[in-house]
Chain A
């Protein structure tokens, strides 16, 4: 049994189904409701998805447009949804780095500067310092030196919940969007823009859908708050004239739209 329940200003709205097919039909039904129900970009207070005994509630406010994108992503990957509902911890970045088990087990395998203990103190002592003395921990090293795993694992070891966001995908999708936009301006034709976008998408390596879904869910649910913080910082940086910043227009919705476009195409 699948259930999708929206808590809206108009009251709760529920959709139910029994099987995989009905799951897809639920989403179609919801999409139709969004389109034809004349509800516009109505804010949704809560979205509750239930699959069997597993139930997840998304309580951060979002609007129906975001919800439509989200649900259409889930439509293509029921197993991904079940995995997610079963264990959200699977979405943590460390789960994606399966092969680095040795480093995960013991980050001390890799030599660091200034020293292992000093580097750990950067994480461990941050919580005890005064607010006006806070600092950023920078993790540098050559490509493949284990920076991502080290940062996440060290954070976990020191009692932090890691909220992970990788900028590489942002830069890539932004570049594609810019190229498509430039070409469109040159050609002056929306259809040409679409062709260029499609060409760009075709040139990419195919990404497994469940990875996209996981990425999307992680972005949508977990990193949303932190990304908003990045947006804030970026604007702040712009005001200070601290240099260019390719993140300045990185909003959650834009990110959702990009991910959705990539998946749905």
Chain B
């Protein structure tokens, strides 16, 4: 460019015929208004003809119109516009290819980009990768090492240590958090006020959550009636939220035009932002990972319904392990639970997480405080690769939520056995909250959270047909679940 004397002349303002560049590309950026882009496409032949003739001639040979903007792929979407397809050529930028990145950054940094827990997410967005991840990983301070490197073997040891260190850096949330924080201050997203940005990210969350649930409804696969009913209720609850309605009303100028979500495939970096960072890597056979993820997902989910969410961690497993011979509940450890409640009585959600996934009762408890009253939700988390069969579900899973469930009867307030013990514990926790809140607290929904996909018809997954009894399968944990790779193993 700088060597093109004609181009420089022209750039400086000499619009003389002899100084015209050979070819000019008119690049219109941030063309997020689909109507405008469509109009520019529709009139491109007349426009470029004008650019190449008379006193307004811009180039000797060719004037090319380039329009860049998020959501422009909609132009070629049949449902949206009827533009002549010959008038435009669409290029969709996907994600940076790590194999290509390895040609320009050291191999230790490439290793960290491929294996760092959080770097794996953020490398899917070009700006986060180029402006944050690579500069952070390439900081010379990471390579400072006291060992000498006289011998070849020492150099290799040092290199491996550097590689391991970079991987640790790329797996540390508060360091990698630089990428999304840097990002949200850039471009069209950076110009949004924080309130609008949060609303849009909330809409993006609902979009990513509702899509897999809708797919279940439209799927060719068949499901048992109780599962269909359960999933329908979950979707109905979500689609009844104000955020979902706002999303529906704003399909053209909302999250898609701002680039916060793609209709085809959204990068994990943007899913992470949609979750507002509330996600966790879930390792195979680590029940507490899934428990943590369930609590985080619940917090983000309740935000969709206007709740202000706060996490709390119980000091002791609640309730204490049940002994077949002695089913008397010991509430003495309640004295140690000194969590704080939130002042005020409008739309607060306290999410209590158990540190021990093998506790007898619910793994995640949520106190929902609304102006009309408070309720306690109980969630039992099950990190399995597939359904373990109806017997285990009836005899172990539901009873741990205080639900006695046989083939013929459902008892939501049992007084004996494992289910009775769990119910006593849940009720004791409810009374503790009542005492702290100085207000009535009702027992609310009881829910099983399963990390495996919705079981098909051939699998019997018994669900009690009672109000407030719910199951959430893997699809209902999107996008929280898919941001970080889920690895499950068979038990």
**Could you list which residues of chain A lie within 8 angstroms of chain B, going by C-beta atoms?**
56-60, 87-89, 91-93, 99-103, 105-106, 108-114, 119, 122-123, 126-127, 131-148, 150-152, 155-156, 158-168, 171-172, 221-222, 225-226, 228-230, 232-234, 236-237, 240, 242-247
Contact = CB atoms under 8 A, between A and B. Distances in A.
Given A111-B96, A232-B50, A103 B126 contact: yes
11 contacts: A88-B8, A105-B104, A113-B90, A135-B89, A139-B93, A155-B64, A155-B66, A160-B23, A160-B24, A168-B29, A245-B33
B38 A123 contact: no
Interface string B165-194: 000000000000000000100111101000
Nearest to B34: A243
A102 B134 contact: yes
Give the top 4 A-B pairs by smallest Cβ distance, nearest first.
Answer: A143-B259, A141-B93, A144-B127, A243-B35
Contacts of A234: 36, 39
Nearest to A144: B127
Contacts of A168: 29-30, 187-188, 191
A163 B35 contact: no
A162 B68 contact: no
Given A89-B11, A143-B258, A113 B21 contact: no
B69 to A, nearest CB: 7
Contact of A232 (B47, B130, B261): B47
Contacts of A108: 100
Contacts of B58: 163, 225-226, 229
A240 B111 CA distance: 55
A127 B13 contact: no
A148 B70 contact: no
Contact of A88 (B11, B43, B260): B11
B94 A113 contact: yes
A30 B433 CA distance: 76
B86 interface: yes
A253 B134 CA distance: 42
Given A135-B86, A152-B27, A106 B12 contact: no
B173 to A, nearest CB: 20
B125 A161 contact: no
Contacts of A244: 35
Interface of B: 1-2, 4, 7-8, 10-16, 21-33, 35-52, 56, 58-59, 61-62, 64-73, 75-76, 86-97, 100-101, 103-105, 125-128, 130-131, 134-135, 183, 186-189, 191, 258-262, 266-267, 269-270
A139 B68 contact: yes
A145 B125 contact: yes
B125 A144 contact: yes
A110 B65 contact: no
A136 B35 contact: no
Contacts, number: 314
A92 B7 CA distance: 12
B41 A138 contact: yes
Contacts of B46: 236
Q: B61, B94, B258 — which one has the most chain A CB atoms within 10 A of its CB?
A: B94
Contacts of B26: 163, 165, 226, 229
B93 A140 contact: yes
A109 B72 contact: no
Contacts of A59: 13-16
B25 A162 contact: yes
Contacts of B97: 109-111
Contacts of B39: 233-234, 236-237, 240, 242-243, 245
A141 B73 CA distance: 8
B294 to A, nearest CB: 28
Given A92-B1, A109-B97, A131 B52 contact: yes
A92 B21 CA distance: 15
B4 A112 contact: no
B139 to A, nearest CB: 14
Given A131-B49, A228-B56, A138 B131 contact: no
Q: Which of B69, B75, B183 has the most CB of A within 10 A?
A: B69
A141 B40 CA distance: 19
A140 B92 contact: yes
B126 A161 contact: no
B204 to A, nearest CB: 11
Nearest to A98: B131
A57 B40 CA distance: 32
B35 A144 contact: no
Contacts of A165: 26-29
A26 B488 CA distance: 74
Contacts of A101: 130
B126 A139 contact: no
B67 A166 contact: no
A80 B84 CA distance: 44
Given A134-B45, A245-B36, A164 B29 contact: yes
Contact of A160 (B25, B35, B42): B25
Given A106-B103, A246-B33, A246-B36, A138 B67 contact: yes
A99 to B, nearest CB: 4
Contacts of A151: 25, 27, 29, 66, 68
Given A131-B52, A139-B67, A145 B29 contact: no
A171 to B, nearest CB: 8
Nearest to A246: B33
A161 B48 contact: no
A102 B128 CA distance: 12
Given A138-B89, A161-B59, 14 more contacts: A99-B130, A100-B127, A106-B104, A111-B96, A134-B44, A137-B65, A140-B90, A148-B27, A159-B22, A160-B23, A161-B4, A222-B11, A229-B51, A237-B42
A147 B45 CA distance: 23
Contacts of A146: 93, 126-127, 130
A151 B64 CA distance: 11
